[in-house]
Amino acid sequence: MNTELNVCTPAAPSMVPDPGPRPAQVDFGAIKQRQHATWASGNYAIVGTTLQIVGEHLAEAVDLRAGEQVLDVAAGNGNATLAAARRFAHVTSTDYVPELLEKGAERARANGLDVHFQAADAEDLPYSDGAFDVALSTFGVMFAPDQLSAARELTRVVRSGGRIGLASWTPEGFIGDLFRLIASYVPPPVGLQSPMLWGTEPRIVELLGPDATDIHCERRRFNFRYQSAAHWIEVFRNFYGPTYKVYAALDPDRQASLTQDISALLERQNVGGAHSLVVPSEYLEVVVTRK
């Protein structure tokens, strides 16, 4: 297998999440129920639509062709879905949160795009082996609690010679910092491996390498652009499931403390000057060619 990883900036060892020992029994069902409630809360589409450029980049990275059968896994409100459909692919958009699929369907209709939407679990996809030419996921499959099952399903439903395209936040980037900060207030479920592992080259090779003839990784940056740190916090506190749920779990004093800490994090990483907020957040773009 040729793993073309030289294009990636090596991850700083101290920043890569430690998978740690996994308990013999992890209740993935209970974890998924919590996650479902998290992603169904707020209104992710308000935040998700700002990430559209990532889906467009990914569609180009996998060299998507008109007429190909494309599966968007854990599609959220459909950024990769719309990017593929704009390139005249036949797209099936899936997520296990129906509320998110409804937002994606609204966007597809508004853009005049023909897309099939179906509720489906990334760890148990209801499709036959090799049914798709391409599978995509932007900041989606990385949050599946059973990472090995999600990786097996991604590779299973893609034909030999097909491609898998992923965009996942890295542990070194802003979102990695944000999730560590959130975890200091509300720890993640016991036994759950960090989703940021999907943003590290070694984990990608571990998860997808056995079924690949080629793996190409590139580190990219998405810029969060908001009026100010206070504006970013307002949007994410009200509409982004993970921060919405964390705030709901805290008493007023802890909420105020979290706001102060997030504001400090944003200001440290702001490159937009005194009168705006521009925070670069690194993600790993991965293209896998199926064996």
Least confident piece of the model among 7-21, 36-50, 136-150? 7-21
Residue 157 has pLDDT above 60, yes or no: yes
Higher confidence at residue 18 or residue 182? 182
Q: What is the pLDDT of residue 17?
A: 53
Least confident piece of the model among 131-145, 187-201, 273-287? 187-201
CA 284 – CA 61 distance, rounded (Å): 12
CA 5 – CA 7 distance, rounded (Å): 5
Higher confidence at residue 76 or residue 37? 76
- Place 13 in a pLDDT band, splitting at 50, 70 and 90: very low
Residue 59 has pLDDT above 70, yes or no: yes
Higher confidence at residue 18 or residue 256? 256
- Mean of the per-residue pLDDT values of the chain: 91
> What topology is assigned to 2-15+27-171+188-223+282-290 in CATH?
Rossmann fold (3.40.50)
Report CA 203 to chain centroid distance, whole Å. 15
Which run of H or E residues covers position 102?
A: helix 98-110
* Percentage of the chain exceeding pLDDT 90: 82
Query: Could you give the 3-state DSSP secondary structure of residue 170?
Result: coil
Mean pLDDT of 172-199: 94
Mean pLDDT of 99-108: 95
Mean pLDDT of 246-254: 96
Strands ordered across the beta sheet of 69-72: 2-4, 212-226, 277-290, 158-169, 132-138, 69-72, 90-95, 115-119
Mean pLDDT of 33-53: 85
Cα torsion through 136, 138, 141, 144, rounded to 10 = -170
Q: From residue 141, give the alpha-carbon distance in Å to each of 122, 123, 198, 271, 291.
A: 7, 9, 9, 29, 20
